[in-house]
Structure 1
Amino acid sequence: MGQWSQALVLLAFIQFSVVAAFTDVLDSTALLSLKANWMNVPSSWVGSDPCGDLWVGIECNNSRVIAIILSNMNLTGQLSGDIGAFSELQNLDLSFNTNMTGILPQEIGSLKNLQTLSLMGCGFTGPIPSTIGSLQQLISISLNSNKFIGQIPNSIGNLSNLYYLDLTDNQLEGPIPVSDGNGTKSGLDMLLKTRHFHLGNNKLSGTIPPKLFNPNMNLIHVLFDSNNLDGSIPSTLGLVQTLQMVRFDRNSLSGLPSNLNNLTNVIELSLSNNNLSGLMANLTGMNSLNYLDMSNNSFTVSDVPPWIASLPLLTTLMMENTQLQGQVPVDLFSLPDLKKVVLRNNHFNGTLDISNTNSNRLQLIDLRNNSISNVAQIPGGNITLLLEGNMVCDKTDQVTKSYCTASSPNSSYFPPPNNCMQISCNSDQVTSPNCKCTYPYKGIIVFRGLASFDLGNTTYYAKLAKSLMETLQSSALPVDSVSLSNPTVDSFGNIELSLEVFPFGQECFNQTAITMVGFALNNLSFDPPRSFGPFYLIAYTYGNCAAALNKSSRTSNGIIIGVAVGGSVLLLLVVLAVVYAFHQKKIAERASEQNNPFAHWDQNMGNGSAPQLQAAKRFSFEELKKYTNNFSEANSIGSGGYGKVYQGTLPTGQLIAIKRAQSDSMQGGLEFKTEIELLSRVHHKNLVSLLGFCFEQGEQMLVYEYIPNGTLMGSVSGKSGIRLDWMGRLKVTLGAARGLVYLHEHANPPIIHRDIKSNNILLDESFNAKVADFGLSKSEFDGERNSITTQVKGTLGYLDPEYYMTQQLTKKSDVYSFGVVMLELITARKPIQQGKYIVIEVRKAINKSKDLYNLHEILDPFIGMGKNLEGLEEFVDLAMRCVADSGDKRPTMDEVVKEIENIMKLSGMNLSADSEPTTANYYEASKSNSHHPSSNDVFGYSGSFPPSSIEPM
């Protein structure tokens, strides 16, 4: 060993020996190990005595670490098994570090004194370790908004002191765990002290075990919304008298217990978007109920249940599409606190009489798409009445036209006036309500309780902000003011508010304040004020201001041992020199590879030349591995015969979708190169963009832009949680058609897609259509030919029969497939369903002498409840021409676009050739899971199947 090496070892030993006098040896070693594996640790993490050197986020007592609170610090890395060394740890909060990834180690079960575990808003994957059930002191578990998979561990039932359980917004699946009764298996039914079951937005399946609930429980919140639960809600739920909020919306439940009305303390009951049938449960006696949502179920056709008018505190009634009929009862509007009544898409008729309105708070009555023939009295005050789609709207002499025109409920948010107009701040600063230029702590607060919310009431948000401000100040935090703004309703029925917390006495929060603000809000979330209801925070990464402030304000803790410090610095310099040399070598290698990006391209690929790319980038295998968390199951968003599709995130934050072929479905090298070259030169707003590819280490991967709202198939079937209305479907049809026109007429050379289907049409954040998956596409290299002789490929049900019989591929083959998609759009049926072919079924049903061509029985009921479907007949005519047996009788895609535009004009939509129409709407379907469509949906990146195959439905 050299002289320098010996000196460094000696200095390190001296330094470590000094540490032992301040921070417990095991705790110090574990923290240093965590630090070595994390990036972006707080700037105060210097030296080797975390307790004595006052490391930000580390709280100690008698040399032992009792709290690690590092919320929203932009930490990057994984939580190693070293975490199990902190035997005295009471609070662990790593929330909102989105780059904190990997699995949660089994060693978490060694933290026997842990009371709060808060890992919300990180990127953790894999299963929740069963060892978590050994943490007998746990009071709060917040693992929401991660990517956990697998089943909920039964061992959680061992946590006898647990108060708060939040596993929302993950990818947990399987049944709800309950005990077996003989002591060998625990379950959630054993959590008698727990007040909160927050398990929504996962993939939980199966029936709800009756054993889950019992009268000895103290639950106030039962939130199982947006899962895959089926069967009936057990009657044991009615035994939990303490319940205040119940959400089972967005599942596949089919039955309700008769004793729901035993829940006399429930404020909010949401059972919408299920498969509930039979008579609606009698809720007489639920005198605390504020918010009731039974929408989008299949109850037995009936009049409005009389018990609704007996709910004294009801503010919001949501019963859209629930088979209600008859006249709207007059006494319904006599409820004193009623604000909002939504009864659209039912079968109400007769005269609407709201003269008995007894509420000064009533804001909205939505009765669109019913059969009301008269209105007894026009409402006064600020009531918004929506009657579009009723017979009364044909009698313009009896009702003001404004009630019969397409409109949305008035829920506009008007921000408070800006009283700081004269204040000039830097571009990256925000003016606080007290007119100070600052860098606020920002995030989104997601409220899961809707009973008390008034989206258009600015005063209400000011009240919430004041309450939050008081909470933060009571924690002695340097907070100047709090602002809440921009209320929206997400696809899961929750209300989101933008949060800004402004620092007091300085431009920005230091790192200690950042961690404490997050910790305070996290703790408030599991015991919120009654006026708030349950909520959780999604915090944004705080800027560089905090690091700079900490650097300038941090005082020296003195030199404990000069030699030790000097040795540490020297050791650090040596390590940095090695790292720098290694880094420079990697940069040089990367630069060389960039100059010749296909230097390692497999020479067996046809002619051996690198692909001629116009826009796509070559990604390395290691890059894509990093962007997808090592191709983890948590990042998998679909699969098919070709392999899997993974969601990834580029360093810029852009989401991507990576199609990774499995070995037995890889194309030949020449075919793969041809596909990349083809995709790299098609650019249109209605086509999914190829961002790059990977061809190394025996891999074939294509990297696409990520399209958030899934496939058209997912929307049509309802799996994506979104249902398009008639206008929305026209908009999608036009967008997809425009994309095909670009391929057929404007690409050079023209391209035949060859696999048009609803699963290959994606919907972006604005529900614009994007055609995807060009794995089977063919180029028309000879402009004089009208067809290409080629092996038949495609998807059964969408496949052009003329192409199938003759093997002559033409642009009209795409037209045929597009016609099938059009029929799928209006019927919500698969092309081949129960042995019946959609084209034949529509042909048999059409009777042009009857209304809507006699297609009432075959139309998707969600398309508009049979009303206001202007242009439907013309749409059907066009679709049937597209699926003509002979290609000569089919229109071109250019002609299809023009006809769809005419249909949309007939329907009253404004559009131009250069922009998508903007008046289409969508509404929530009967099922939804996660912030994404079904994982089986594959997001349309379904890829090319084995070259010799025809893809089945």
Structure 2
Amino acid sequence: MICWRILCSLLVVLVQVFGTAARTNTDDFVALEALKDVWKNLPPSWDGDDPCGNDWDGISCSDDRVTSISLGSMNLNGQLSSDIQKLSALVILDLSYNNLNGALPTSIGNLKKLTTLILVGCGLSGRIPDSIGSLPELQLLSLNSNNFVGPIPPSIGNLSKLYLLDLTDNKLSGTIPVSKGSTPGLDMLVSAGHFHLGKNQLSGEIPPQLFSSKLTLIHLLLENNRLTGSIPSSLGLVQTLEVVRLDRNSLSGSVPENLSNLLRVQELFLANNYLTGPLPNLTGMTSLTHLDMSNNSFDATDFPPWFSSLQSLAALIMDDTHIQGQLPVSLFDIPCLQTVSLKNNQLNGTLNIGSDHSDELELIDLRNNSIEAITQRAGYSIEITLVGNPICNEGGTEKYCTIPQQQNYSTPPKSCTPLPCDLDKTSSPTCRCAYPYSGTLVFSAPSFASFGNTSVFGSLQQKLLSKFRSESQPVDSVSLSNPTRKEDGNLELNLQVFPSGQDYFNRTGISGLALILSKQTFTTPDGFGPYSFNANNYTYFTGSRNSGISSAHIGALVGALVGGLVLLLLSLVIGIYAFRQKKRAEIAGKKSDPFASWDPSRSGGRVPHVKGAICFSFDELKKCTDNFSGMNEIGHGGYGKVYRGTLPSGQLVAVKRAQHGSSQGGIEFATEIELLSRVHHKNLVSLLGFCFDQGEQMLVYEYIINGSLKDGLTGRTGIRLDWMRRLRIALGAARGIHYLHELADPPIIHRDIKTSNILLDERLNAKVADFGLSKPMGEQERSHVTTEVKGTAGYFDPEYYMTQQLTQKSDVYSFGVVLLELLTARRPIEKGKYIVNEVKQAMDKTKDMYNLEGILDPIVASNTVPGSVEKVTDLALKCIQEPGFNRPTMGEVLKEIENIMELAGLNPNAESTASSQSFDARKASSHPYTSESLSSHSGASPP
């Protein structure tokens, strides 16, 4: 009792000391302490009890409230805790270039005073929460270079003060949201100057509603997505635009004529789409410096004379655009012209550059045209390439008949002799050895084409130095090096910033530099355009802080010492209690059986035997799916519903929740949890865990981003599956089934092979899913399993249906139907017609493609390798033979697919698509869990 009285007395003293000595608001201090618990590698200064009074690195305050957290490039590890919401006075939050993980917490929407949210290059994942639209003061939102998935939240349209929206380089999917009824959208952001949405997986059309004459947009960056449809004519209403990037999508149709009204546009990128119709006349775009419309399908046309009227043009890139005829001499008179690239067209006649060509002209690339002659004049320093033209095809040995070496780019040289530096130090432009802050500057729309002009980079170098110094940053000099033009059209530069007065930056200096570069607020010299920055780790911070103690802090230090003693005593007591409680919980957990309440009579037979799968509590899955919200529902059927969820680690999962009272759900639950917990193969969907808690039956498995094969074949996902990809998908699925049949112990019959149960991951690898109906084969069942007929109409093995004897050849039959779907993109049963019968009736082996052109998917018919369609057809017919013993095994099927791929020039053992961004159509799926794949599996009769 006496001890407790002493502690209470000390607590009173502590409150009094804190009340007189501490400046920081109590709630803010508690919030920062909570963040400390989940972050590692914190600045050493974060060890006091008064963040505002003791000058914690990265923390700025107004009176007693924390208003700014700026900790860019601090090498932090951990997650962004939901406790951030307690910092209600926060105006700026910058945690860029750290090693954070997990999701962006929903509680971020409670920071009502936030104007700047910058989380560039942090490794965050999961969905961007809808609560992001609840920040009424937000002006800068930079979430680029993370791993965010899912759609762009429509709620962002509520951010009426937003100026910069940068979501570049994530894995966002779905359509671009626009307002509809009470639902907001990006079209409401009329004050925004920047839509940076490139390098994602956005799909669907660019909504015409997105643009209007009210919009004040400067940069529209939508490159490297999977957008389809035509370019909306409403784009021509946005008179403020300066940069437009729509390249590397799947856009089609004609280019709107009114784009010529965009008088301020300097960079226009439309390359690598499927645009058709006449080449657009852009005469009115007098500010245009960089034009790239390469690799489209425009109508054949003579070289347009209006190109010569674009007097600001520095780069004209029109490869593979069906331009023909002779190049006019006037083209080369454009005063700023540096680069002309017109490869793979039908240009002919004589190349005449003239005597009055631009002094800046450096490169003319006309490879693979029909140029027959060149008017050569002495003194040309221009690099001309005519490889693949008649002038070179007859044994020409001139320099223009050779492929040029890659252009050497240069940046400003040092103005002094560099010093030899020890350790990891680098010689600066002023020849001082120091530890620079470094990273990569990425410019997404450089309008100039010549990277050999050091004065251009010198201008940028000086601009950066002036910006840093104007923001009172301790910078001595700035160095740029190794400019590189990337295939995606971007310009990358290595940046090094050197400290002033000492050979390394302190933490305040680094966080200040990181904030300037991540905010993208400085104006680059003409020609560089929008940019982003990717920082390297900086580990050379000042070793010690100023140890001097001012008289103003003596009282605070005394108070901190007394308070620290009391906190130590309290922490000791609380720690002992918490440790004992934790040990009790661990013991109880070990004794606990997740299937203790399993009722075999109601839940589907014996208790499941699970190996390796995680047992989740109901509350954990409730939290990761946002209370099973309708927004996260991605599929439903007779079994129940499937929800998208995000684990605390940031991993996306699919949570399949059984419908209450479904006995069939219990059986499927037991079957799938047992089988998937012990089979592991790259072509099978992985089970991560399960929940049997509070009367719930849930399965948690990996989230497959690109949908089902069925959706891909019917066009619902938007992914264009050409013939080569279909062969790889068939190979992957066959490998998964072969593993079940011949390598699993005991062997497993899937019993429901169909295109909606073959999912496609981000590399379009096939993964066999849904093991709810699968049957293991015991020692006494090696030939067959006698069981009730279940499956999906159209894929039934007729022999299994008649005899109720399930064999591995039943899966082979179903796989044969899948092969026919790959060939035809038709459902097994469509308008009362069975695809098996349709193919058999139409087939004539004496004709090309077996006379199946009328049935084949046009993508297959027009994009195939001779003989491969016929061989796949033969294999499919072998798989659906009756009786079953005439069908091949899955091992034999697998070998035949590998042979067909080799015939088609494909390596069966090579990796699939490099990334989802390299798809021909570059489109994204909606979701992989369609209603059909989750529907109850009845014993419906086969056709």
TM-score normalised to the size of structure 1? 0.74
Counterpart mapping for 1:115-130 below 5 A: 116-119=116-119, 125-128=128-131
Counterpart mapping for 1:213-232 below 5 A: 213-214=212-213, 218-223=216-221
**In the alignment, which residue of structure 1 is the partner of 2:680?**
683
CA distance in 1, matches of 2:642, 2:742: 32
**In the alignment, which residue of structure 1 is the partner of 2:587?**
592
CA distance in 1, matches of 2:456, 2:741: 52
**In the alignment, which residue of structure 2 is the partner of 1:67?**
68
Secondary structure of 2:51's partner? coil
CA distance in 2, matches of 1:809, 1:718: 33
How far the C-alpha of 1:511 sits from its partner, in A, is: 3.9
For 1:13, the aligned partner's letter is: V
Go from structure 1 to structure 2 and tell me whether the alpha carbon gap of 1:126 and 1:163 turns closer, same or farther (over 3 Å shift): closer
Larger Rg, first or second structure (1 or 2): 2
One of 786, 789, 794 as aligned partner of 1:789: 786
For 1:820, the aligned partner's letter is: V
CA distance in 1, matches of 2:409, 2:766: 32
**In the alignment, which residue of structure 2 is the partner of 1:936?**
927
Go from structure 1 to structure 2 and tell me whether the alpha carbon gap of 1:889 and 1:592 turns closer, same or farther (over 3 Å shift): same
CA distance in 2, matches of 1:605, 1:436: 77
Are positions 1:661 and 2:657 aligned together? yes
Secondary structure of 2:644's partner? strand
After superposing the two structures, state which structure 1 stretch, 141-150 or 40-49, moved more. 141-150
Counterpart mapping for 1:39-438 below 5 A: 39-40=38-39, 42-60=43-61, 67-71=68-72, 73-74=76-77, 76-78=80-82, 81-85=85-89, 89=91, 91-95=92-96, 97-99=100-102, 101-104=104-107, 107-109=110-112, 111=113, 116-119=116-119, 125-128=128-131, 132-133=135-136, 135=137, 139-142=139-142, 150-152=153-155, 155-157=158-160, 159=161, 163-166=163-166, 175-177=177-179, 194-198=192-196, 208=207, 212-214=211-213, 218-223=216-221, 235-248=233-246, 250=249, 257-270=256-269, 281-287=280-286, 288=288, 290-293=290-293, 303=301, 306=304, 313=313, 315=315, 317=317, 328-331=324-327, 337-338=338-339, 353=348, 356=351, 361=363
After superposing the two structures, state which structure 1 stretch, 604-613 or 518-527, moved more. 604-613
Are positions 1:755 and 2:752 aligned together? yes
Q: Does structure 1 retain, via aligned residues, the 8 Å contact 2:711–2:717?
A: yes
Go from structure 1 to structure 2 and tell me whether the alpha carbon gap of 1:701 and 1:430 turns closer, same or farther (over 3 Å shift): farther
Q: Does structure 1 retain, via aligned residues, the 8 Å contact 2:158–2:184?
A: yes
For 1:246, the aligned partner's letter is: V
For 1:673, the aligned partner's letter is: A
After superposition, give the CA deviation of every residue in 1:487-513 in whole Å (9 maximum; x if it has no partner).
8989xx685969786875999865434
How far the C-alpha of 1:801 sits from its partner, in A, is: 4.7
Go from structure 1 to structure 2 and tell me whether the alpha carbon gap of 1:532 and 1:304 turns closer, same or farther (over 3 Å shift): same
CA distance in 2, matches of 1:884, 1:784: 23
State the Cα RMSD in Å. 5.6
CA distance in 1, matches of 2:231, 2:653: 37
CA distance in 1, matches of 2:919, 2:691: 37
Counterpart mapping for 1:839-858 below 5 A: 839-843=836-840, 846-856=843-853
Counterpart mapping for 1:705-854 below 5 A: 705=702, 710-713=707-710, 715-716=712-713, 723-764=720-761, 766-782=763-779, 786-804=783-801, 806-831=803-828, 838-843=835-840, 846-854=843-851
One of 693, 704, 715 as aligned partner of 2:690: 693
Go from structure 1 to structure 2 and tell me whether the alpha carbon gap of 1:149 and 1:898 turns closer, same or farther (over 3 Å shift): closer
CA distance in 1, matches of 2:510, 2:838: 62
For 2:758, the aligned partner's letter is: I
One of 15, 18, 21 as aligned partner of 1:16: 18
For 1:934, the aligned partner's letter is: S
For 1:237, the aligned partner's letter is: L
Secondary structure of 1:101's partner? coil
One of 497, 501, 513 as aligned partner of 1:517: 513
For 1:77, the aligned partner's letter is: S
Go from structure 1 to structure 2 and tell me whether the alpha carbon gap of 1:684 and 1:18 turns closer, same or farther (over 3 Å shift): same
Secondary structure of 1:681's partner? coil
Secondary structure of 2:520's partner? helix
How far the C-alpha of 1:457 sits from its partner, in A, is: 10
For 2:159, the aligned partner's letter is: I
CA distance in 1, matches of 2:493, 2:705: 21
Counterpart mapping for 1:903-942 below 5 A: 903-911=900-908, 915-916=909-910, 933-938=924-929
Q: Does structure 1 retain, via aligned residues, the 8 Å contact 2:439–2:534?
A: yes
How far the C-alpha of 1:592 sits from its partner, in A, is: 3.2
Q: Does structure 1 retain, via aligned residues, the 8 Å contact 2:243–2:268?
A: yes
Secondary structure of 1:702's partner? strand
How far the C-alpha of 1:518 sits from its partner, in A, is: 2.6
Secondary structure of 1:559's partner? helix
Go from structure 1 to structure 2 and tell me whether the alpha carbon gap of 1:49 and 1:446 turns closer, same or farther (over 3 Å shift): same
Q: Does structure 1 retain, via aligned residues, the 8 Å contact 2:706–2:927?
A: no
For 1:564, the aligned partner's letter is: G
For 1:770, the aligned partner's letter is: K
Q: Does structure 2 retain, via aligned residues, the 8 Å contact 1:149–1:172?
A: yes
Go from structure 1 to structure 2 and tell me whether the alpha carbon gap of 1:410 and 1:635 turns closer, same or farther (over 3 Å shift): farther
CA distance in 1, matches of 2:456, 2:787: 63
Go from structure 1 to structure 2 and tell me whether the alpha carbon gap of 1:635 and 1:191 turns closer, same or farther (over 3 Å shift): closer
Q: Does structure 2 retain, via aligned residues, the 8 Å contact 1:725–1:920?
A: no
Number of residue equivalences: 877
One of 598, 602, 616 as aligned partner of 2:597: 602
CA distance in 2, matches of 1:459, 1:889: 73
For 1:67, the aligned partner's letter is: S
Go from structure 1 to structure 2 and tell me whether the alpha carbon gap of 1:834 and 1:459 turns closer, same or farther (over 3 Å shift): farther
How far the C-alpha of 1:77 sits from its partner, in A, is: 0.7
CA distance in 1, matches of 2:894, 2:386: 37
Secondary structure of 1:733's partner? helix
For structure 2, the 5+ residue unaligned runs are 354-360, 375-381, 397-402, 412-417
Q: Does structure 2 retain, via aligned residues, the 8 Å contact 1:206–1:230?
A: yes
CA distance in 2, matches of 1:950, 1:125: 42
Secondary structure of 1:16's partner? helix
For 2:685, the aligned partner's letter is: V
CA distance in 1, matches of 2:28, 2:881: 71
Secondary structure of 2:555's partner? coil
TM-score normalised to the size of structure 2? 0.75
Go from structure 1 to structure 2 and tell me whether the alpha carbon gap of 1:189 and 1:510 turns closer, same or farther (over 3 Å shift): same
Secondary structure of 2:565's partner? helix
Q: Does structure 1 retain, via aligned residues, the 8 Å contact 2:733–2:766?
A: yes
How far the C-alpha of 1:519 sits from its partner, in A, is: 0.8
Q: Does structure 2 retain, via aligned residues, the 8 Å contact 1:461–1:485?
A: no
Secondary structure of 1:644's partner? strand
**In the alignment, which residue of structure 2 is the partner of 1:900?**
897
CA distance in 1, matches of 2:857, 2:542: 60
Go from structure 1 to structure 2 and tell me whether the alpha carbon gap of 1:937 and 1:869 turns closer, same or farther (over 3 Å shift): farther
CA distance in 2, matches of 1:520, 1:624: 39
Q: Does structure 2 retain, via aligned residues, the 8 Å contact 1:77–1:100?
A: no
Secondary structure of 2:656's partner? strand
How far the C-alpha of 1:244 sits from its partner, in A, is: 1.8
How far the C-alpha of 1:900 sits from its partner, in A, is: 1.6
How far the C-alpha of 1:569 sits from its partner, in A, is: 1.0
**In the alignment, which residue of structure 2 is the partner of 1:405?**
none
